[in-house]
Amino acid sequence: MSPDRTAEMNEPLAAHPSVEMVYLYYDNPEMLRVQLDCWNGYPKAMARIPSVILVDDGSPNAPAVEIVRRHGCGVPIRVFRIKEDIPWNFSGARNLGCHQANGWIYVSDIDTLLYENDAKVLFEDRPLEMGRFYMPRRVRLPDMADERPGIVNLLFHRETFFLIGGYDEDYAGHYGREETDFFDRIRRGAQKVKVDESVIRVMPPTLVPDACTQGRSRDRARNVALYERKLALGFPAPANPLRFSWERVL
């Protein structure tokens, strides 16, 4: 090990706050295997290894826990399963993951890869400050073309999450706008910090066919109208989170 790396490993753990990474899963077995391989690189690069909270949003065909058990995971991982197959329940699934976390939370999509060196930059290379949330740079594979900033891919503190009320589950059952709603509320309650030195990579379905949720209607009309009503009201705090039954399976 290099002298610089030895010194870094000897820094107090408080200099590198623990981060828990929340990912959602819905019948994406091949993409999950790609993610597991990505996370397996973390121990060699980071002073304090992040842990994963994986939420299976009621997958009817390929439960996440079976993939994790067969493939293995090189970082600490907990797997939760929502017992009901609710269409587009991203807000509920993210609420479940964030409710299980402590301290700093990184929320992302199953199709978006944060490799170990970029995780180190995002989680460890600067002090993380309360009252701020952090956004890495986003590119699309395989050509690394820049994408618009991902309003899903955010690093924030648990206190900020509860201060703004978490994700709004009124959007569940229909496609879209729950991420925009959350982003609009978090940027009212905390300061945005762009971290362009940390790059996240979006995997397209042309490379991994199950990278995106399949077999669901993507009609946005109902949730667009709902978002507009909430915007007009100044985004009232979401109510009644975790409107479903769930269990920890790993």
Q: Which domains does the chain have, with CATH numbers?
A: 16-238 (3.90.550.10)
Residues 6+ apart with CB under 8 A from 206: none
Q: What does the alpha-carbon distance between residue 243 and residue 90 come to, in Å, rounded to a whole number? A: 12
Question: Is 85:58 a contact under the CB 8 Å cutoff?
Answer: yes
Closest CA to 134 of 200, 179, 195, 198: 195
pLDDT at 33: 98
* Lowest-pLDDT choice from 96-100, 147-151, 163-167, 181-185: 147-151
Bridge-based pairing of strands 191-202 and 132-140 is parallel
pLDDT at 214: 84
The residue length of the chain stands at: 250
The string of pLDDT tens digits covering residues 121-137 is 999 999 999 999 999 99
Query: 10 Å Cβ neighbour count for 146?
Result: 11
What's the distance, CA 249 to chain centroid? 19
Prediction pTM value: 0.92
pLDDT at 9: 32
Q: What does the alpha-carbon distance between residue 220 and residue 163 come to, in Å, rounded to a whole number? A: 28
Q: What does the alpha-carbon distance between residue 55 and residue 58 come to, in Å, rounded to a whole number? A: 9
